[in-house]
A and B are shown apart, each in its own frame.
Chain A
C-alpha cells in the first residue's frame, strides 16, 4: 500500500534549505532506502518529501586540488563509470559495483548511503578509511564533518534535521593504498555480513603510516578498528604482523548475531579478510 505524501522539487539550494527549516519534510535522492521505509508498514509516513533531483549543486564528480569531490547525488553507476574515480579511488568503484544490482546502482546515491547510515552501507568503510569529509549545508550555513565523526549511533548521524549533505570530499594523499572487501550471502542484491576497507601509506623501511581499518556490519555503525590500526601503524605487512593484526581485530570487534549472520562468523571473517589483505600487500 504505497503512501503518497506531497512532494516539493526545488531547483535552488536556498529553497531546499527553507523547506527543511520549516520542518517535517524528508529528503529523497534515489529513493532506494526511502521508498522502502515509507510504505507505512515500517513506521510513520513522512508529512512531506523533499525531492533533491533538481538540485544541480548536488551533482557531479570532479578532481580539485588533490581531492576527489563527489556530489551527494552521485549515483553508483556514475561512480562506476567515472574515470577520475576509477583512477584515484578504485576501492570506491569496487564498493559501488557490489551494491544491490543494476537498478539500485542507477538510482542509489552516495549521499543517500551516508544519510541512511546503515551499519551495512557498503561505501561507508571506504569513506572512513579514506578520511573523507562531508560537506553539509542549511540555512545556518555550510560545515564540514569528517566521516569519522559522522556516525553517532545506530542510524544516527551528525547531520542536523535542517541540513543536507552536499558533497563528499576525499583527500588523495600521494602513495596511499586502499583496499575493499565485501562478504554477503549471494553475489548480487546482498546486504553485507562483513564489509571492510584498509588504507595505508607505505614508507618503505619505516613501515606503514596512516593505517585505517574500517568495517561495516560488525557494530551499530560503520567503525574504525583503532586497536588494530595501532598494531599496523609503523609496522609492515609481515606474517607476524598480519597474525597479530588479525588476532587484535578479532578481539576488538563486538559483532552480533542477527538474521544475516552470526557474531562468531563476523568476527572470524573480519580477521581473516584483513589477514588476506595484509598477505596480498606483503606479497607472501
Chain B
C-alpha cells in the first residue's frame, strides 16, 4: 500500500509524482509502505541544510590549527585588515563553558589562548562574513602564535588513558594449560571515514529571546540541544534544534554536529544574524570523526578437536585527541572481542588512549567491527592449523541457548547463531566451493600462490576463494545505557482527530520516517497513511534518545508500539464496543487531544553492573553470518569481491525492503573496510583527506549481495525486533579476508587487505610475514 501522506511542506512533490495512490510500483516495493521522504529525494525537491534560504545570512568558516600539538600563545588578526566588516569569534566569546558536552568535558569548542592545541585540524577561531569571497581572502590573515609541544601518535605509547575495561570468566591460565594448541595473533585496523553523501552542515538563527534555533544535518537533536545549553548558557526553550533532511550519517553525525552547531551559534550570536556553516568535503574528511583504529592481540587455547578452552584478548584503541564517545566504543569492542563463541576461560582487556590526531568517534558497528575482524580471523587461522573446516570449528563453539558470555550473561533466548551459520553455509554451497578452490590451489604451480620472491607470473591469472565469518551484535545501548537514557516516545491523537508519532529519532536514509508510522498504524489498526510523523524539532518532540546503536526500531519503535497500545486502550475504553479505528475521530471531537508519553522501562530481568562489568551486557543479540567469494588477480593481487551471502537475524523484520537495504549497505561498507578504505597519516595529519584519494567502492566494485533475513524475536521488545543497522558491518570484512586467504594462502592481519599487503605477503620467502606473525606458541 503506497503512502500518500508526506511531511508537511512537500505537497508539491506529491503532485509531481506519476505514481497514483494504490498503484503498484515496479520492483518489489509492494505490500509495505513506500519511503515517506523518498519522492522528495527522488525528484530533487528535498531540502537539505545547504538548500535552505535565510535572508541576510552570513557564511561562517573555521580557522584551524596546522600543528598536531602546541601551546596557543596568541591569535593575531592582521592589523592591515579592516575587521569591522566581518565577525571574528574566539574562545573569549563563549558565554558558557568552553566544552562540547559529551561523555567527558575535555573538548573545547575553540582552543583558548594559553590552552593546548591537540590535533592539526583543531578549531581555534571562527570567521563570518556576508560572502565567501571575503572569507577566502581573510582566512589566511589570522596568525596563530604557538609553541610546539611533542606530539604522541602511537596509541600504545600514550600515557593518557580515556577508558579501560577488563572482563574475565574462569581460569585463563588453567585453560591454556589444558589446551592442545595455543595460537597467538596480532590484528590491526585503521581509520574509516563514514563518507555520508551530504557533508556536515548547520545554520544557526539567533532569536529575539537571546536564544538560538539550529537547522542542520544530524542524528541526535538532543545531543546538540544539551551542548548548546551548556556552552551558550541557554535555557531549554532558548535552545531549539531542528533536523533538516539528512544525507546519511553512519555515526558521523552523532557527535560532530554538536561542535558545528556551537560554532555556527557563536558566530550567529555575535553577528546578530543567521550564520551558515556548510563544510566542503575536504574539511569534512580532514576534521570530523573516523572509526577508531585498533590493535587487537589474541592468545587462544583450543583442544585438538577445535574446542575453545582459553581466550586472552587485548584491545588497544586510538581515541584521537579528545574523548568523544571513545569509552563506549571501546566497551562495545571489548564485549564483542571473543566473537559469538562459548569459552569457559576468558580474559578480555581493553584500553583506549589519547593521541594527537583528530578525535575518533561513532561509526556503524561502534567498536565491534574492529574486534570481530580479529576474532574471526583468529578462529579461521586456528581452523587451518587444526585442519578443521571453518564451518565445523564454528559449529563446535558457537553460542547456543543457555550458554554464558564473558560477562556472565546467560543467553536465555533469541540465540540464532547456529541458524544464521547454517543458512549461510547452505545458500553459498560453502563446503562444495571450498573443495573446488582447494583443488584449484593444489593444481596451481608452486604452493598455489605466486612463486616466492620472483617477478614471474604463473599459469593462472586469477584465483578464486571463499571465506566465512560469523558475528554477534548486542542490541541497543551497552549495559545500563538505556536505563540512564530513559527515553520518551509519544503517540498523539490530536484535538482535530489526526494521529501523530512524536520522537526525536531522525531519518537519515535508513527509514525511521517510514517504519515508525508503519508500526503505530499496525498497532492502532489504521491505514499507515493516516499516521503522521512529527518533525525532529526539540520544540515539538521529547527526548527519545539518539538515533544510533541500531536502537531506533528496537527501543524507540518498541516505545511507540506501547504508546499506541495505551492510546488504543484509552480511546476504546471511552467508546465501549467501538474499535479504535472507528472511534478515534469522534473521540477527539468529544474529548480533545489524547497524548501518550511512553517512557523506557528496563527490559525484564536484564541486570548489568557498570562497576564490575558483569551481567547482561545487552538485552539480546543480533546474529550474522557472511560468506564472501573473491577473485584475486595473481599478477597484481587486486581483489574483486564477487559475491556476499549475508544472513542476519534481526529479531523481527518490520519492513523487508528497508531491512535488506541496511544489510546490503552495511555489507558494502564492510567490503570497502576490508579491501580499499584506508587513511594514511603523516605527523598526525591525514594524507588522503579528499574524495580523490580516500576511495570507497564504486558500483562496479560492489559484489552481488544476497541477503537472507532470519527472525529470532526478543521477547522484551513488544515487536521482537533487535535492530539491523550495525550487524552486517561486523561480519563481511573477516569473511573477505578469509576468502583472500582461501584464494592465495596468505593471511592478512591488517585492514584494509590492500594489494600492496597481499603481494608483499605472497612474495615473502616463506609465503608471508603475515603467516609467520601468528606462529604457534605451544
List chain A positions with a Cβ less than 8 A from chain B: 1, 36, 40-41, 101, 183, 185-191, 242-243, 246-247, 250, 259-262, 264-265, 268-269, 271-273, 275-276, 279
Judge whether A272 and B455 touch: CB under 8 Å: yes
Interface of B toward A, CB cutoff 8 Å: 132-133, 135-136, 280, 282, 455-457, 461, 635-638, 640, 676, 680, 687-688, 692-693, 695, 697-701, 755-756, 759-760, 763
CA distance A101 to B700 in the complex (A): 10
User: What is the CA–CA distance of A230 and B697 in the complex, to the nearest angstrom?
Assistant: 40
When the two chains form their complex, are residues B456 and A243 in contact, meaning their CB atoms are under 8 A apart? yes
Residue of chain B at shortest CB distance from A247: B455
- For B758, the closest partner residue in chain A by CB is A265
Complex contacts, A271 vs chain B, CB 8 Å: 455
Q: How far is the CB of B350 from chain A (nearest CB, A)?
A: 31
List 16 additional A-B contacts (Cβ < 8 Å) besides A246-B455, A276-B461: A40-B136, A101-B698, A183-B636, A183-B638, A185-B676, A187-B700, A189-B695, A243-B456, A265-B756, A265-B760, A269-B637, A269-B755, A271-B455, A272-B636, A276-B635, A279-B457
Bound-complex Cα distance A183 to B754 (A): 13
Contacts of A269 in B (CB 8 A): 635-637, 755, 759
Cβ contact within 8 Å between B676 and A1? no
Q: What's the nearest-Cβ distance from chain B to residue A173, in Å?
A: 28
Partner of B695, one of A190, A250, A279: A190
Cβ–Cβ contact A273 & B635, under 8 A = yes
Report yes or no: A186 in contact with B636, Cβ–Cβ below 8 A. Answer: no
Of the candidates A36, A186, A262, the one whose C-beta lies within 8 Å of that of B698 is: A186
Contact indicator B700/A259 (Cβ below 8 Å): no
Residues of chain A lying within 8 A (CB to CB) of residue B692: 36, 191
Closest to B640 in A: A187
Given contacts A1-B132, A259-B693, contact A272 B457 (CB under 8 A): yes
How close is A154's CB to chain B, nearest CB, in angstroms?
17
What residues of B have a CB within 8 angstroms of the CB of A276 in the complex?
A: 457, 461, 635
**A268 and B759 contacting across the interface, CB-CB below 8 Å:** yes
- Closest approach, in angstroms, between the C-beta of B268 and any C-beta of chain A? 20
Complex alpha-carbon distance, A260 and B680, angstroms: 9
| Min C-beta distance of B690 to chain A, whole Å | 10
Q: Say how far B149's CB is from chain A's closest CB, in angstroms.
A: 27
Contact A187 B698 (CB under 8 A): yes
B57 to chain A, nearest CB (A): 16
A148 to chain B, nearest CB (A): 26
A188 to B688, alpha carbons, bound, how many Å? 18
Instruction: Give which listed residue, B638, B693, B701, contacts A260 with CB less than 8 A.
Output: B693
Contact residues in A for B280 (Cβ distance below 8 Å): 1
List residues of chain B with CB within 8 A of the CB of A185. 676, 695
Cβ contacts under 8 Å, B635 to chain A: 269, 272-273, 275-276
A5 to chain B, nearest CB (A): 13
The listed residue (B133, B637, B688, B755) touching A259 by CB distance below 8 A is: B688
Most chain A beta-carbon neighbours within 10 Å: one of B636, B637, B698: B636
Among B132, B457, B676, point to the contact of A186 (Cβ < 8 A).
Answer: B676
CA A235 – CA B337 in complex, angstroms?
Answer: 58
Give the CA-CA distance A247 to B700 in the complex, in Å: 33
Closest to A101 in B: B698
Chain A, residue nearest B702 (CB): A187
Q: List 13 A-B contacts (CB under 8 A).
A: A1-B135, A1-B280, A36-B692, A185-B695, A186-B697, A187-B640, A188-B699, A189-B695, A191-B692, A243-B455, A272-B456, A275-B455, A276-B457
CA distance A1 to B763 in the complex (A): 46
Complex: A276 Cα to B457 Cα, angstroms: 6
* B640, B755, B756: residue with the most chain A Cβ atoms closer than 10 Å: B756
What 9 A-B pairs have minimum CB-CB distances, sorted nearest first? Answer: A271-B455, A187-B700, A246-B455, A265-B756, A272-B635, A188-B698, A1-B132, A276-B457, A259-B688
Q: Do B457 and A188 touch across chains, with their CB atoms under 8 A apart? A: no
Q: Quote the shortest CB–CB distance from B748 to chain A (angstroms).
A: 14
A186 touches B455 (CB 8 A): no
Q: Which of B280, B457, B687, B692 has the most CB of A within 10 A?
A: B457
B201 to chain A, nearest CB (A): 15
In the bound complex, how far is the Cα of B132 from the Cα of A262, in angstroms? 39
Quick check: B455 and A268 within 8 Å, CB to CB? yes
Q: How far, in angstroms, from A275 to B135 measured CA to CA in the complex?
A: 54
Q: In whole angstroms, how far apart are the Cα atoms of A40 and B687 in the complex?
A: 19
Q: Are B456 and A275 closer than 8 Å at their CB atoms?
A: yes
Bound Cα distance A243, B451 (Å):
13
Measured CB to CB, the closest approach of chain A to B191, in angstroms, equals 14
A1 with B136: in contact, given A269-B759, A275-B457, A276-B461 (CB under 8 Å)?
Answer: yes
Given contacts A40-B136, A268-B759, are A187 and B455 in contact (CB under 8 A)? no
CB of B279, distance to nearest CB on chain A (Å): 12
Q: Contact check, B698 vs A264: say whether CB atoms are below 8 A apart.
A: no
Contact for A261 among B135, B687, B756, CB less than 8 A? B756
Contacts A259-B688, A275-B455; A1 near B759 (Cβ below 8 A): no
The residue from B136, B282, B456, B700 contacting A246, defined by CB atoms under 8 A apart: B456
Which residues of B are found within 8 Å of A242, using beta-carbon distances? Answer: 456
Do residues A189 and B455 form an inter-chain contact, with CB atoms below 8 A? no
Q: Is the CB of A41 within 8 A of B457?
A: no
Among A41, A189, A265, the residue within 8 A (CB) of B755 is A265
Q: Chain B: which residue is nearest A239 at the CB level?
A: B456
- Nearest CB in chain A: distance from B138 CB, A: 12
Q: Whole-angstrom distance between the alpha carbons of A190 and B698 in the complex? A: 10
Specify which chain A residues have a CB less than 8 angstroms from the CB of B701 in the assembled complex. 186-188
- In the docked arrangement, what's the CA distance between A66 and B717, Å? 77
A190 to B635 alpha-carbon distance, docked (Å):
19
CB-based contact B680/A259 at 8 Å: yes
